[in-house]
Amino acid sequence: MRPFTQHKGIAAPLDLANVDTDMIIPKQFLKSIKRTGFGKNLFDELRYQDEGQADQDCSGRPLREDFILNKTPYQNASILLARRNFGCGSSREHAPWALDDFGFRAVIAPSFADIFFNNCFKNGLLPIQLTEEQVEQLFQEVQNNIGCEIAIDLEQQQVSTDSGLAFSFAVDEFRKACLLNGLDDIGLTLQDEDKIHAFETRHKASSPWLFAAKN
Amino acid sequence: MSAKTLYDKLWDNHLVTQRDDGSALIYIDLQLLHEVTSPQAFEGLRLANRKPWRISSNLATPDHNVPTTVNERKNGIDGISDQVSKIQVMTLDDNCDEFGITEFAMNDIRQGIVHVVGPEQGATLPGMTVVCGDSHTSTHGAFGALAHGIGTSEVEHVLATQCLVQKKMKNMLIRVNGELSPYVSAKDVVLAIIGKIGTAGGTGYAIEFGGSAIRSLSMEGRMTVCNMAIEAGARVGLIAVDDTTIDYVKDRPYAPKGEQWQQAITAWRDLVSDDDAHFDEIVDLSASDIKPQVTWGTSPEMVIAIDKAIPKAEEQTDATLKESYARAWDYMGLAGKTMLSDIQLDRVFIGSCTNSRIEDLRIAADVVKGRQIAKNIKEAIVVPGSGLVKAQAEKEGLDRIFIDAGLQWREPGCSMCLAMNADKLGNGEHCASTSNRNFEGRQGFGGRTHLVSPAMAAAAAIAGYFVDVNELVKTDTSVTH
Ligand code: SF4
């Protein structure tokens, strides 16, 4: 996994609450068996006027000009600013894959849905939870200074702007360590292989039916 | 020892190791796999040269992409006309073959929606930890199992390590006491709950559903409730084990047998929250207050009882809410409409992991029996949750009742719940749907979804617009043609 340490980039203000995973990446694009290539279909229904198809060349599709990511300079945004309950809905990891593939490195919102939040960390995408007021201040900042950048420092757990706004955010230790070092979860878990075996032995003794062969 | 909630017990029973940083490894007993969220996980295993930790703990079936018409189905995988879908279904077959995982492939009678198939086979058992790369895995909590929806990276993680990295959630208890009115079902209960606590109300919690109205539900009804825990923001929904649970599980193909059955039920009896267990949050609802529910907007929390006026954006005081209500009104084309009955319906969908079990089909058939769908309904489809549900329904003659009333009887799969196959809404069409998500575009580009119970969907098919099913069945509208 790509590590995340510090990042500074253009923040796109997506002024919507309850952005669901069907919005982030509609289902027709989930037919892919790959992890990459979803960026062009990120927010497909909000971004294009027509209905997108899987495996389609998107370069000639009519855009919805009023959608934030279609406006300059947000085509180059790498931080997404959104409202509460971002990422609700399905467990599709295609949502963080699409955000990542578009070029986003972080999403800042007042709250996130659990599964989406978790999926972000597996993909080097940092979800940052700030208070409603702090997010509102950032919205105002980026709306008043189009194209202004936000800086994120994961080590210091801080979000800041050139104009002097600075907010600290919480992140759990384990996830922070994984992101900072770009660590593979599976490898880490397998360091506890002995404990898993030991648990399995106990579990089998107390609940043998769970280990009965399937016919 | 201090009192524990059901969630605490399940957690403790599966805790492999607690790490200093607050995260924990929990052991997974069952992983369900389907074609959409597993290909990249298998690919990851291959790239890292890893093998599944315990092959027999996995069970797979394709559901999201499979076509539901008899014509397309009779030719198996070759019958899938969408080439991209076909590759995905084939990839699941290939991966299961390669790794030796049991799969109910497309034309196996046991194929169906993962969340219908697991319980039906007795693969889902009380006291288990269950995961699937699908958020509606919360369904299996109806059995007193700890069931999480996970992402693809976690699917790979569970395949490789049999464990999931988790942080313990908080405990919420939602109690529904009293008696439900006629034709008010589990779906109405859970929609009413979401209406009350909101789609983020359960974020960070494992929700246990309790109270006399929940206890009196069948397993089918309990699965409907837990299915939609995720729509209230909770990854995990739970219902304590009782006789209803045990009776349902008994004699299912994968359920324990003989001596192990006795041993298992003794253990399962303990799968209830202790009397004085601590919940971080308790929410109470009265069953008798719950009327048939219909969603009017683009989030499951935008839900009202059938006799209420559709709430207006300008009446909202919260700015964000005002904004999202306005957007939903616009998307749903509600201008000039006051009541749900003002909405002219185009399609009806009875199916999905929320409401495609035999009991759901029975009640829908009961409502449409001897009646005819309204002229304005372009298509009303009934999609059973599995091949076995379909067979059972046909044994009971439900298929005939639906067909005689003008509905279509389909092959099992997710179908119009998320419209990954050919079953979808046209731009601007309104649909009465028994599924679980009314998000923008969920059932097709520009499609407008209204979530309802099977009885309400059936009533809507007959009337052509939303009516209280109780009103419909009172008036004898048996039309002769
Ligand atoms: S029926 Fe719908 S919600 Fe259920 S698993 Fe299939 S797509 Fe997901």
- ipTM of the modeled complex: 0.93
Could you say which residues of chain A have pLDDT below 50?
A: 215
Report whether A40 contacts A25 (CB < 8 A): no
- In a domain, residue A200? The reply is no
CATH of the domain at A146: 3.20.19.10
- In a domain, residue A146? The reply is yes
pLDDT higher than threshold 70 for residue B481: no
Is beta strand A106-109 parallel, antiparallel or unpaired with respect to A79-82?
parallel
Is beta strand B236-238 parallel, antiparallel or unpaired with respect to B205-210?
parallel
Q: Quick one: angle between helices B387-395 and B358-368, nearest 10?
A: 40
pLDDT higher than threshold 60 for residue B477: no
Q: Which positions in chain B touch A30 (Cβ < 8 Å)?
A: 36, 64, 420
Q: Does the beta-carbon distance from A212 to B256 stay under 8 Å?
A: yes
Could you tell me which of B129, B163, B131, B162 has the C-alpha nearest to residue B146? B129
Which tokens sit at A195?
A: 């404990």
* pLDDT for position A63: 96
pLDDT in tens, B182-227: 999 999 999 999 999 999 999 999 999 999 999 999 999 999 999 9
For residue B221, how far is its CA from the centre of ligand 1 (angstroms)? 17
Given pLDDT bands bounded at 50, 70 and 90, which one contains residue B1?
low
- In a domain, residue A45? The reply is yes
Separation CA B211–CA B200 (nearest Å) = 22
Q: Which positions in chain A touch B331 (Cβ < 8 Å)?
A: none
Q: Which residues pair with B31 in a beta bridge?
A: B58, B131
Report whether B49 contacts B156 (CB < 8 A): no
pLDDT in tens, A164-212: 999 999 999 889 999 999 888 898 899 999 999 999 999 999 999 999 8
Q: Identify the residue among B162, B330, B439 best suited for mutation to test binding to A, counting A beta carbons within 10 A and taking the highest.
A: B439
* pLDDT for position A157: 98
Q: Give the number of other CB atoms < 10 A from CB of residue A34.
A: 10
* pLDDT for position A90: 87
Separation CA B181–CA B306 (nearest Å) = 14
Report whether A129 contacts A112 (CB < 8 A): yes
* pLDDT for position B422: 86
Which tokens sit at B474?
A: 């009172």
Q: What does the pLDDT average to over B89-110?
A: 96
Separation CA B33–CA B36 (nearest Å) = 9
DSSP B57: G
Q: Does the beta-carbon distance from B420 to A123 stay under 8 Å?
A: no
* pLDDT for position A184: 82
- In a domain, residue A53? The reply is yes
What is the pTM (predicted TM-score) of this model? 0.93
Alpha-helix runs per DSSP H in B52-173: 70-73, 83-99, 114-121, 152-161
| Shortest-distance Cα residue to atom 1 of ligand 1 | B352
Q: Does the beta-carbon distance from A186 to B87 stay under 8 Å?
A: no
In degrees rounded to 5, what are phi and psi of residue B42?
Answer: -65, -40
Taking CA atoms, A110 is separated from A117, A133, B91, in Å, by 12, 9, 39
Q: Which positions in chain A touch B29 (Cβ < 8 Å)?
A: 210
Q: Give the number of other CB atoms < 10 A from CB of residue A182.
A: 12
- In a domain, residue A24? The reply is yes
Separation CA A110–CA A83 (nearest Å) = 6
In degrees rounded to 5, what are phi and psi of residue B175?
Answer: -105, 130
| Reduced DSSP (H G I as helix, E B as strand, rest coil) percent helix, strand, coil of chain B, to 5 | 40, 15, 45
Residue A133 touches partner B, C-beta closer than 8 Å = no
* pLDDT for position B479: 47
pLDDT in tens, B423-444: 999 999 999 999 999 999 999 9
- Amino acid identity at B200: A
In degrees rounded to 5, what are phi and psi of residue B131?
Answer: -130, 160
- Amino acid identity at B327: R
pLDDT in tens, B135-162: 999 999 999 999 999 999 999 999 999 9
Element (H, E) at B433: strand B430-433
pLDDT higher than threshold 70 for residue B472: yes
Window from B190-199, B293-302, B416-425 with minimum mean pLDDT: B416-425
Query: Which 3 state secondary structure label does DSSP give B99?
Result: helix
pLDDT higher than threshold 90 for residue B478: no
- In a domain, residue A117? The reply is yes
Mean pLDDT of all residues in chain A? 94
Separation CA B224–CA B213 (nearest Å) = 14
* pLDDT for position B170: 98
In angstroms, how far is the first alpha carbon of chain A from the final one? Answer: 38
Q: Give the number of other CB atoms < 10 A from CB of residue B478.
A: 9
HSE of A68 in the Cβ direction (CA atoms, 13 Å)?
20
Q: Does the beta-carbon distance from A196 to B39 stay under 8 Å?
A: no
* pLDDT for position B353: 98
In terms of residues, how long is chain B?
Answer: 481
Pocket of ligand 1 (CB under 6 A): B 63-64, 113, 115, 134, 136, 352-353, 414, 417-418, 435-436
B320 or B17: which carries more pLDDT confidence? B17
Separation CA A97–CA A104 (nearest Å) = 10
Q: Which positions in chain B touch A195 (Cβ < 8 Å)?
A: 16-17, 25
Q: Does the beta-carbon distance from A173 to B36 stay under 8 Å?
A: no
Q: State the count of interchain CB pairs (< 8 A) between A and B.
A: 202
Looking at the structure of chain A, the number of domains it has is: 1
> Which of A 30-49 lie inside 8 A of B, CB atoms?
30-35, 45
- In a domain, residue A141? The reply is yes
**Which residues form the domain of A30?**
6-183
Could you tell me which of A38, A104, A40 has the C-alpha nearest to residue A76? A104
The 3-class secondary structure across chain A, one letter per residue, is: CCCCCEEEEEEEEECCCCCEHHHHCCHHHHHCCCCCCCHHHCCHHHHECCCCCCCCCCCCCCECCCCHHHCCCHHHCCEEEECCCECECCCCCHHHHHHHHHCCCEEEECCECHHHHHHHHCCCCEEEECCHHHHHHHHHHHHHCCCCEEEEECCCCEEEECCCCEEECCCCHHHHHHHHHCCCHHHHHHCCHHHHHHHHHHHHHHCHHHHCCCC
Query: Which 3 state secondary structure label does DSSP give B24?
Result: strand
Mean pLDDT of all residues in chain B? 95
- In a domain, residue A19? The reply is yes
For residue A169, how far is its CA from the centre of ligand 1 (angstroms)? 35
HSE of A124 in the Cβ direction (CA atoms, 13 Å)?
19
Which tokens sit at B354?
A: 């929320």
Q: Does the beta-carbon distance from A35 to B40 stay under 8 Å?
A: yes
